[in-house]
Amino acid sequence: MNIRQSSSTFSQRGPERTEGHIRGVECPEGGLHDTPALRWDGVEVSYGGKPALYDVSFEIPTGTLSAIVGPNGAGKSTAVKAALGLVPLNRGSVRVLGGQLREHRSRVAYVPQQDLVTKDFPITAIQVVEMGRYPHRGWFRRLTKADDAAVAEAVRRTGITDLVNEPLDELSGGQRQRVFLARALAQRADLLVLDEPFTAVDARTEAALTDLLAELCADGEHTVIAVHHDLRTVAERFDHAALLSGTVVAAGPVHEVLTAAALEQAYGLVLAAREKPREDPSTREYPARDQSERVTSAP
């Protein structure tokens, strides 16, 4: 069985989408949403001569809550960084919202891994949220009333109203992630890319934030891509997934991706070279959920 999907993924995507497979919703605009939010084409990335990703080809359809999963060192973060121009591509190409990133910078909101953000930086929560408006307003112009409104709405939706004047370094992990998510919401971007958004976050906050992300995608216009490590939440809450292990093991609707065979291949490849993983996901069962059921739960 060939579960490594690369270029074959594209040919499968078309019919699935026109059948309204993704989230069980027909796209009213027809062809418009056939443009994937993010698409990798034969991408290869290496760090200091060592290959981190090779022959990566997959796409994230517009309007999905998508996860990029895989074992440690699988290149999950590298894949999104490559898509956003943060690491150079050895070969291959990336399309962001159907074009080049530089054409759509203000439409892409990025929340990096927490350890890539400067620690102990003198900044308050509201100042972080306001950064979400800079891609629109630029580095020099004052924020407008419209900007303030977007910031206020993001603060309200993420439930950080009481924290706005707190210094960021005095917040808990969960509160910090709410602040960074608020920044992404304040940007009112079409594509949100979150790298490990739920590390150091308690289960309740994670559930609340995932609800918020699902709500955002429910209109079929917004796309959320999260690099994620918790396969169980992905199986339960996400629409679409890409399973990476140096390259694409599987990509598509969640229940097609998180199969025992694919997981074994993804995690097994690394197992051969590494020690025991923290948990062996291939032995766990994931409910193959009906996608129509998923739609009723989303508001």
Partner 1 sequence: MNTAIALLPLPYPEAIVAMGSAVLGFVAGALAPFAVLRGRAMFGDAMSHGTLPGVVLAFLVVGMKDQGMLLAGAALFAIAAAALMIGLERAGRTAPDAAIGVTLSATFALGIVLLTRVGHSGNPEQSGLDAYLFGQAAGMVARDVWIALLLGGFALLAVVVFFRLLRSATFDPQFSAVAGVPTWTIDAASTALLVIAVVLGVRTVGAILMVALLVAPCVAARALTKRLATLVPISGLIGAFSGGAGAVLAGRAELPTGPVVVLLVTGLATAALLFAPRRGVLSRAWRRRTARLSHAEAWHGN
Q: Which residues bind partner 1 (CB under 8 A)?
A: 48, 81, 84-86, 101-102, 105-106, 108, 110-112, 116-118, 120-124, 127-128, 131, 134-135, 139-140, 167, 183
CA distance 193 to 81: 10
Judged by beta carbon, residue 24 or residue 98, the one nearer partner 1 is 98
Judged by beta carbon, residue 150 or residue 258, the one nearer partner 1 is 150
Judged by beta carbon, residue 23 or residue 183, the one nearer partner 1 is 183
In the bound complex, what is the minimum distance in angstroms from residue 105's beta carbon to partner 1?
A: 5
Judged by beta carbon, residue 31 or residue 122, the one nearer partner 1 is 122
Question: Count of CB atoms within 10 A of residue 90's CB?
Answer: 14
In the bound complex, what is the minimum distance in angstroms from residue 102's beta carbon to partner 1?
A: 7
In the bound complex, what is the minimum distance in angstroms from residue 140's beta carbon to partner 1?
A: 7
Judged by beta carbon, residue 113 or residue 259, the one nearer partner 1 is 113
In the bound complex, what is the minimum distance in angstroms from residue 181's beta carbon to partner 1?
A: 13
Long-range interactions of 129-135: CB distance < 8 A, separation 24+: 129/154, 129/155, 129/160, 129/164, 129/179, 129/182, 129/183, 129/186, 130/183, 130/186, 131/183, 132/182, 132/183, 132/184, 132/185, 132/186, 132/187, 133/186, 133/187, 135/105, 135/106, 135/109, 135/187, 135/189
In the bound complex, what is the minimum distance in angstroms from residue 44's beta carbon to partner 1?
A: 20
In the bound complex, what is the minimum distance in angstroms from residue 136's beta carbon to partner 1?
A: 10
Judged by beta carbon, residue 24 or residue 85, the one nearer partner 1 is 85
Q: Which residues contact 118 (CB under 8 A, 6 or more apart)?
A: none
In the bound complex, what is the minimum distance in angstroms from residue 85's beta carbon to partner 1?
A: 7
Measured N-to-C along each axis, helices 203-217 and 173-186 cross at an angle, to the nearest 10 degrees, of 10
In the bound complex, what is the minimum distance in angstroms from residue 88's beta carbon to partner 1?
A: 12
Judged by beta carbon, residue 124 or residue 259, the one nearer partner 1 is 124
Judged by beta carbon, residue 17 or residue 183, the one nearer partner 1 is 183
